[in-house]
């Protein structure tokens, strides 16, 4: 892989800040070292001393005075070493990336911690997307990613999807506008990256099958594409065994994977982690150094304390509980949808995630229905147009979330939606 060819001029120009380099050096120095170099504040002056956090199983996490000093201090830009090590072991168990065994010239796998996966993704795009580039992504698309991509001045090429995600034949047809050799000719504008949400898509709830992933990976090899695997709903797959990830099939080192703790530990902690080829992770870390410096040390310590206490087995047990919750919620929403919306709307049962994506029969554009009528009838949903590359383009879909409402509220909400549709189409 020639990683340099994928980098934007901005990313290629990033250099290590001398102060951050010194901080990283200090962190690796023996305790006997006398440092007069650091610009960090003295944590003895901070008002927080220690913390005890109660975990849902009744146990506690202790952050004693000495750990608190560490938690409140600046830390290394890639993330704190112990957390990275824990998460690398997790990636090895779950995905066993073939790139782990790679020679350095082919690019080893590496990882950095980000402030939610969103920060990582936005920085990945800044690293890889130049104005005028063609970028492939599944549509309808996660609106947060459209917000990150659109200002970069690229041309978004939407990939048609169904309940099993990107349709490989459609991807093949789109790519047939180019020859594989065009990949190395920048003026050809052959796409360099493909962004996809492989499980429990937001908004569609779609999950890619293994066969489709294999086909897509082969096309990525043919056209030398980088696959950006944005997988925050990986841990919310309802059926086991979980589908193999793109990372797990990445023999070339062409996958950058974004994971998120938002749906399983806490969205407010803002904790994500990016796994991918070392040369890309290095660039991301330089961007982190120049922007946030690092993800909150306190957040990382909190998460690490819990993960170390649980071990991988405890972590996966916790996830089973989370899956059970969302599966039950999904089933409740499907029951209510069957009860109120049969004949009025169409949907597929999502195999993961937290969204039901419904096509409203006889309504060309759900925007007015949702933004005016539904709101005044006290039911909130998201109109499908919010997930179109061009949000002015009409959509006959709506996204309903089964995350926060009780089964009773979901039932009432869908009943209200049904009345609105009946009124609209009569
Ligand atoms: N990608 C997708 C598909 C999402 O749905 C979300 C959260 N809404 C994110 C990324 C961002 O997640 P995080 O909280 O980890 O930043």
Separation of CA 225 and ligand 1 centre (Å): 23
Distance, CA of 38 to CA of 29 (rounded, Å): 13
pLDDT of residue 106: 53
pTM here is 0.95
What Cα–Cα distance (Å) separates residue 310 from each residue in 55, 285, 315? 11, 28, 6
**pLDDT by residue, tens only, the chain of 426 residues:** 899 999 999 999 999 878 767 776 777 788 898 888 878 899 999 999 999 999 998 999 999 999 999 999 999 999 999 999 999 999 999 999 886 554 445 558 899 999 999 999 999 999 999 999 999 999 999 999 999 999 999 999 999 999 999 999 999 999 999 999 999 998 999 999 999 999 999 999 999 999 999 999 999 999 999 999 999 999 999 999 999 999 999 999 999 999 999 999 999 999 999 999 999 999 999 999 999 999 999 999 999 999 999 999 999 999 999 999 999 999 999 999 999 999 999 999 999 999 999 999 999 999 998 888 888 888 999 999 999 999 899 999 999 999 999 999 999 999 999 999 999 998
Q: Which residue has the tokens 């950006």?
A: 228
pLDDT of residue 39: 83
Separation of CA 265 and ligand 1 centre (Å): 13
Mutate to test the pocket of ligand 1, among 119, 148, 203, 232 (most ligand atoms within 8 A of CB): 232
Separation of CA 212 and ligand 1 centre (Å): 23
Residues lining ligand 1, Cβ inside 6 A: 116-118, 142, 144, 197, 202, 230, 232, 260, 262, 267, 272
| Atom from ligand 1 closest to the CA of residue 230 | 1
Separation of CA 230 and ligand 1 centre (Å): 8
What burial class does residue 400 get, using C-beta atoms within 10 Å of its C-beta: 0-12 exposed, 13-18 middle, 19+ buried? buried
Distance, CA of 82 to CA of 24 (rounded, Å): 14
Mutate to test the pocket of ligand 1, among 113, 114, 115, 116 (most ligand atoms within 8 A of CB): 116
pLDDT of residue 109: 85
CB 232 within 8 A of CB 117: yes
Nearest CA to ligand 1 atom 5: 202
Q: Which residue has the tokens 């499980």?
A: 199
Distance, CA of 284 to CA of 426 (rounded, Å): 54
Which is nearest to 215 in space by CA: 203, 227, 204?
227
Within 203-294, residue ranges assigned H as helices are 210-222, 278-290
- Give buried/exposed letters for 6-32 (b at 16+ CB in 10 A, else e): bbbeebeebeeeeebeebbeeeeeeee
pLDDT of residue 322: 98
pLDDT of residue 99: 65
Nearest CA to ligand 1 atom 9: 118
What Cα–Cα distance (Å) separates residue 34 from each residue in 29, 31, 270? 9, 8, 34
Distance, CA of 260 to CA of 266 (rounded, Å): 9
pLDDT of residue 302: 97
3-state secondary structure 174-203: HHCCCCHHHHHCHHHCCCCEEEECCCCCCC
Please say whether the dihedral angle defined by the alpha carbons of residues 35, 38, 43 and 44, taken in this order, is positive or negative.
positive
Distance, CA of 375 to CA of 11 (rounded, Å): 43
Helix (H) or strand (E) holding 333: helix 297-341
Contacts of 111 (CB under 8 A, 6+ apart): 78, 79, 84, 87, 88, 91, 273, 274, 275, 276, 281
Helix (H) or strand (E) holding 329: helix 297-341
């Amino acid at each position: 892989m020639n990683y340099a060819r994928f980098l934007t001029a901005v990313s290629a120009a990033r250099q290590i800040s001398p102060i951050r380099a010194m901080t990283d050096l200090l962190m690796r120095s023996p305790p006997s070292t006398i440092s007069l170099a650091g610009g960090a504040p003295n944590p003895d002056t901070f008002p927080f001393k220690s913390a005890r956090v109660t975990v849902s199983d009744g146990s506690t996490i202790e952050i004693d005075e000495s750990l608190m000093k560490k938690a409140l201090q600046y830390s290394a830009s890639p993330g704190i070493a112990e957390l990275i090590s824990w998460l690398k072991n997790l990636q090895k168990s779950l995905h066993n990336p073939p790139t782990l065994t790679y020679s350095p010239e082919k690019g080893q796998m590496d990882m950095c911690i980000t402030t939610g996966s969103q920060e990582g993704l936005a920085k990945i795009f800044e690293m890889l997307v130049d104005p005028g580039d063609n970028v492939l992504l599944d549509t309808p698309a996660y609106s947060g990613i459209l917000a990150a991509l659109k200002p970069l001045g690229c041309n978004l090429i939407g990939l048609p999807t169904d309940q099993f995600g990107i349709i490989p034949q459609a991807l093949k047809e789109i790519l047939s506008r180019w020859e594989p050799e065009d990949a190395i000719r920048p003026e050809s504008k052959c796409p360099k990256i493909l962004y996809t949400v492989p499980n429990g898509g937001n908004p569609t709830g779609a999950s890619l099958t293994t066969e489709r992933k294999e086909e897509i990976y082969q096309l990525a090899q043919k056209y030398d594409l980088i696959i950006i695997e944005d997988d925050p709903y990986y841990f919310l797959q309802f059926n086991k065994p979980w589908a193999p990830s793109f990372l797990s099939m990445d023999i070339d080192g062409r996958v950058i994977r974004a994971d998120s703790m938002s749906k399983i530990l806490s969205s407010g902690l803002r904790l994500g982690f990016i796994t991918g080829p070392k040369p890309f992770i290095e660039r991301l870390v330089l961007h982190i150094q120049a922007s946030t410096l690092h993800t909150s040390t306190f957040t990382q310590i909190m998460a690490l304390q819990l993960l170390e206490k649980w071990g991988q087995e405890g972590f996966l047990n916790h996830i089973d509980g989370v899956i059970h919750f969302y599966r039950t919620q999904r089933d409740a929403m499907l029951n209510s949808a069957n009860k109120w919306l049969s004949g009025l709307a169409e949907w597929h049962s999502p195999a993961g995630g937290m969204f039901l994506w419904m096509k409203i029969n006889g309504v060309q554009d759900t925007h007015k229905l949702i933004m005016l009528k539904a709101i005044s009838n006290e039911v909130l949903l998201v109109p499908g147009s919010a997930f179109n590359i061009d949000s002015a383009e009409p959509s006959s879909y709506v996204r309903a979330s089964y995350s926060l409402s009780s089964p009773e509220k979901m039932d009432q909400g869908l009943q209200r939606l049904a009345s609105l549709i009946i009124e609209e189409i009569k």
